[in-house]
C-alpha cells in the first residue's frame, strides 16, 4: 500500500505471537480483537500462530471440497470449522505459519483488493528472502511456486476492519492436504522446507513477516502479551 514512511507518519500496531493454539481459541480471540478495533479501543493488531490440525471452509466453499467424512477427519485428530472468511476450503496444521491481521482499512485507503495483494506480497517477499521465487497467479488468490501453492489467503472485512488472513506452508503434513480439494482446485501444495535445505523456525519467520507487513501498512510495531489478550477474549 505505502512504503518508506517517515517516523512521524507511523501508525501504532501490536504483534501477538501466540505460538501453537487450537483454532477455535484463535478464532474467538480474532473476533474479540476485531470488535475492540471497530470500537477504536486497540490499534491494528496482527496475530501469528501455529494451529493444531484443522480444516476450515470459507464463504465460497462447500462440503463437496472435503474428500473424506468429518468422522475421518476426527479420526486423524483434525477439527472442522465453517467460518466467515472469504475463499473456500483450506487446511491449517503444525509446521504452518498463520497470520491474522486486524486492520482498520480506512487508514489504508479502504481498498480490500489492495489489502489482499499486500498480504500476498509480504509472503512473496518473505519467501524471496529465504531463496524461493514465488508469485501470484491471476484469478487464484494466494502465493504460488510455479503451479504449486505454498500460501493461502482468505480474509473477512466487517465495518472496515479485517480479520482472518494468510497461511504459509513451512513444513506441513502433505497427507492432510490430500483430504481436501485445496481452494476447490485439483492442485499440488508445497512447503518452504521442501524447496530449500534450511529448516526454518516459525517464530522467526513470523517476526519477519510482521516486519514486512509493517513496512507496507506504515506501522510502528510493539510486541504485546498474548496472555493478556486471551484474558480480554474471555
pLDDT tens for each residue of the chain, 234 residues long: 544 545 568 999 999 999 999 999 999 999 999 999 999 999 999 999 999 999 999 988 888 899 999 899 999 999 999 999 988 899 999 999 999 999 999 999 989 999 999 999 999 999 999 999 999 998 888 999 999 999 999 999 999 999 999 999 999 999 999 899 876 677 899 999 999 999 999 999 999 999 999 999 999 999 999 888 877 665
**Residue 42: helix, strand or coil by DSSP?**
coil
Q: Count CA atoms closer than 13 A to 85's CA, side-chain side.
A: 27
130 as an active site residue: the answer is no
Which of 88, 96, 80 lies closest to 181 in space, CA to CA?
88
Contact assessment for residue 49 and residue 20, using Cβ atoms and an 8 Å cutoff: yes
Q: Which domains does the chain have, with CATH numbers?
A: 9-228 (3.30.930.10)
What's 177-201 look like in SS3?
Answer: HCCECHHHCCCEECCHHHHCCCCCC
Q: Which of 183, 190, 210, 213 is catalytic?
A: 183
- Locate 105 and state its grid cell: 482499512
- Locate 207 and state its grid cell: 517476526
- CA atoms of 187 and 60, how far apart (whole Å): 17
| Residue for grid cell 483454532 | 23
Amino acid at each position: 500500500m505505502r512504503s518508506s514512511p517517515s517516523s512521524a507518519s507511523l501508525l501504532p500496531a501490536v504483534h501477538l505471537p501466540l505460538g501453537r493454539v487450537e483454532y477455535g481459541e484463535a478464532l474467538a480471540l480474532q473476533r474479540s480483537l476485531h470488535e475492540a478495533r471497530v470500537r477504536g479501543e486497540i490499534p491494528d493488531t496482527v496475530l501469528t500462530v501455529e494451529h493444531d490440525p484443522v480444516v476450515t471452509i470459507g464463504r465460497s466453499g462447500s462440503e463437496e471440497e472435503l474428500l473424506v467424512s468429518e468422522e475421518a477427519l476426527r479420526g486423524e485428530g483434525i477439527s472442522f470449522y465453517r467460518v466467515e472468511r472469504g475463499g473456500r476450503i483450506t487446511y491449517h496444521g503444525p509446521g504452518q505459519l498463520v497470520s491474522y491481521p486486524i486492520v482498520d482499512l480506512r487508514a489504508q485507503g479502504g481498498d480490500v483488493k489492495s489489502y489482499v495483494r499486500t498480504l500476498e506480497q509480504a509472503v512473496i517477499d518473505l519467501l524471496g528472502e529465504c531463496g524461493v521465487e514465488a508469485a501470484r497467479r491471476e484469478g487464484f488468490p494466494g502465493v504460488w511456486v510455479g503451479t504449486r501453492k505454498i500460501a493461502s489467503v482468505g480474509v473477512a472485512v466487517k465495518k472496515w476492519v479485517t480479520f482472518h488472513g494468510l497461511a504459509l506452508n513451512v513444513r506441513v503434513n502433505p497427507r492432510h492436504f490430500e483430504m481436501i480439494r485445496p481452494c476447490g482446485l485439483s492442485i499440488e501444495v508445497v512447503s518452504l522446507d521442501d524447496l530449500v535445505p534450511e529448516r526454518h523456525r516459525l517464530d522467526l519467520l513470523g517476526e519477519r513477516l510482521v516486519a514486512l507487513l509493517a513496512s507496507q501498512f506504515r506501522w510502528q510495531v510493539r510486541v504485546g502479551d498474548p496472555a493478556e489478550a486471551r484474558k480480554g477474549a474471555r
